[in-house]
Structure 1
Amino acid sequence: MITTTAFMIIMLVGVPIGLCLCIAGMVYIMASGNPLLFQSFPLQLFGGVDSYGLIAIPLFILIGEIMNGGGITRRIVDMAMAFVGQLRGGLAYVNILANMFVSSILGSATAQVAIMAQIMVPEMEKKGYDKTFAAGLTAYGGMLGPIIPPSVMFVVYSVLAQVSVSDMLIAGIVPGVVLTVMFCVVIALMGYVYNYPRAEPMTVRQRISTILGACPTLLIPIVIVGSILGGLANATESAAVGTVAAALIGRYWTKEFSFSRLPEMMLRAGIYSAVVLFLVAAAAVFSWVLIFGKVPQEAAAWIQSVAKDPVSFMLLVNVILLVIGTVIDGIPGLIMTVPILLPIATEVYGIDPRQFGVVVVVNLVLGLLSPPVGLCFFVAAAVTGAKPGKMFLVTLPFFGISCVLLVLLSLYPFLSLALLK
Structure 2
Amino acid sequence: MTFFVFALLLLLQVPIGICLCLTAVFYIWYSGNTVLFESYAQQLFGSVESYGLLAIPLFILAGELMNEGGLTRRLINFARVFFGGFRGGLAYINLLANMMMASIMGSANAQIAIMSRAIVPEMEREGYDKTFSTAITAAAGLMGPIIPPSMLFVIYGVLAQISIGDMFIGGIIPGILMGLAFFLIVAGFGFIHTYPKGRWPDAKEAVQSVIQVIPALGVPIIIIGGILSGLATPTESAGLASLAALLAGKFCYGDLKLGVMPDLLKRTALNSALVIFLVASAGVFGWTITFEKIPQMVAEWIGASTSSPFVFMLLVMAQLLIVGMLIEGIAALILVVPILLPIAVDQFGISPVHFGVVVCLNLVLGLLTPPVGTGLFVASAMTGISPMKIAKALIPFLVSVILLLIWFSYDPWPVMVLLE
Who is 2:129 aligned against? 130
Letter in 2 for 1:115: I
**Residue identity in the other structure for 1:290:** I
Give the counterpart letter for 1:100 in structure 2: M
Query: What is residue 109 of structure 2 aligned with on the other side?
Result: 110
- Pairwise CA distance, 1:133: 1.0
Counterpart code for 2:92: Y
Separation in 2, partners of 1:409, 1:259: 45
Aligned positions of 1:55-74 closer than 5 A: 55-74=54-73
Please say if residues 80 and 201 of structure 2, whose CA atoms lie closer than 8 Å, have aligned partners that are also in contact: no
- The two structures, once aligned, show a CA RMSD in angstroms of 1.1
Residues in 1 aligned to 2:20 and 2:398: alpha-carbon distance in whole angstroms: 31
Are the equivalent residues in 1 in contact too, given 2:324–2:332 (CA < 8 A)?
yes
Q: Match for 1:118: what amino acid?
A: R
Q: Residue 282 of structure 1 aligns to which amino acid in structure 2?
A: S
1:307–1:316 contact (8 Å) kept in structure 2:
no
In the TM superposition, residue 263 of structure 1 has moved relative to its aligned partner by 3.2
Read off the aligned partner of 2:332 and give its amino acid letter: G
1:247 aligns with 2:241: no
Equivalence map 1:14-413=2 (5 Å): 14-413=13-412
> Aligned AA for 2:148?
P
User: 1:262, CA displacement in angstroms?
Assistant: 2.7
* Cα distance between partner residues in 1 of 2:406 and 2:197: 33
Supply the AA of the counterpart residue of 1:4.
F
Give the secondary structure class of the aligned counterpart of 1:86: coil
Distance in structure 1 (CA, Å) of the matches to 2:394 and 2:15: 30
State the distance in 2 between where 1:32 and 1:327 align.
28
Aligned-pair distance for 1:369?
A: 1.0
Amino acid across the alignment from 1:330: G
2:8 & 2:252 partners in 1: Cα distance?
53
Identical columns (%): 49
Separation (CA, whole Å) in 1 of partners of 2:121 and 2:152: 29
Which residue identity does 1:174 align to in structure 2?
Answer: I
Q: TM-score, length-normalised on structure 1?
A: 0.98
Offset at 1:137?
Answer: 1.1
Aligned mates of 2:260, 2:196 — CA distance in 1: 39
Query: How far apart are the structure 2 equivalents of 1:323 and 1:207?
Result: 46
- Structure 1: give runs of 5+ residues left out of the alignment: none
Q: How far has the Cα of 1:264 moved from its partner?
A: 2.7
5+ residue gaps, structure 2, are none
Contact (CA 8 Å) 1:48, 1:281: kept in 2 or not? yes
Amino acid at match of 1:205: K
- For the 8 Å contact 1:321–1:363, the answer to whether it is kept is yes
Report how far residue 322 of structure 1 moved. Answer: 0.8
Query: What letter corresponds to residue 330 of structure 2 in structure 1?
Result: I
Q: How far did residue 260 of structure 1 move?
A: 4.4
Is this contact kept in 2: 1:369–1:392, CA < 8 A?
A: yes
Q: Offset of 1:265 from its aligned partner?
A: 1.7
Per mean C-alpha deviation after superposition, the further-off stretch among 56-65 and 201-210 is 201-210
Letter in 2 for 1:110: N
CA shift, 1:208, in A, is 2.2
Partner AA of 1:89 in structure 2: G
Matched residue count: 420
Find the aligned partners of 2:113 and 2:70 in 1 and give their Cα distance: 15
Contact 2:307–2:348 (CA under 8 A) maintained in structure 1? no
Q: Find the aligned partners of 2:388 and 2:19 in 1 and give their Cα distance.
A: 29
What TM-score, normalized to structure 2? 0.98
**Amino acid of the residue matched to residue 226 of structure 2?**
S
